[in-house]
């Protein structure tokens, strides 16, 4: 698949996930977990395609992930 197509699909799915997350936040008494789960799956699928097609630097990705994980663990305490 062309890089541009993958990028646009990823953007589309990220927007759909953010929309349903905002709906859940704005309507806490309503359960959107199935919709969130489906959109999360879509985002994961296209993230994998994007990661492989764009040849992301896995070391930078992992270091950033670890940095966020440590930062947010620190905040929880």
Report the domain count for the chain. 1
Q: Which domain range does residue 60 map to?
A: 3-76
Q: For residue 58, what pLDDT is reported?
A: 87
Q: For residue 69, what pLDDT is reported?
A: 73
User: Which pLDDT tens digit goes with each residue over 24-77?
Assistant: 999 999 999 999 999 999 999 999 999 999 988 889 988 888 888 766 666 655
Q: For residue 74, what pLDDT is reported?
A: 62
- C-alpha pair distances (Å), 11 with each of 41, 46, 76: 14, 9, 30
What is the mean predicted confidence (pLDDT) over 12-25? 98
Q: For residue 55, what pLDDT is reported?
A: 87
Is the Cβ–Cβ distance between 43 and 17 less than 8 Å?
Answer: yes
């Amino acid at each position: 698949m062309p890089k541009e197509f993958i990028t646009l699909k990823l953007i589309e799915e990220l927007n759909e996930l953010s929309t349903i997350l905002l709906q859940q936040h704005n309507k806490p008494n309503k359960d959107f977990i199935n919709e969130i789960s489906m959109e999360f799956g879509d985002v994961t699928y296209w993230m994998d395609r994007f990661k492989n097609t764009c040849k992301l630097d896995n070391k930078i990705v992992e270091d950033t992930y670890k940095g966020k994980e440590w930062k947010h663990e620190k905040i929880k305490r």
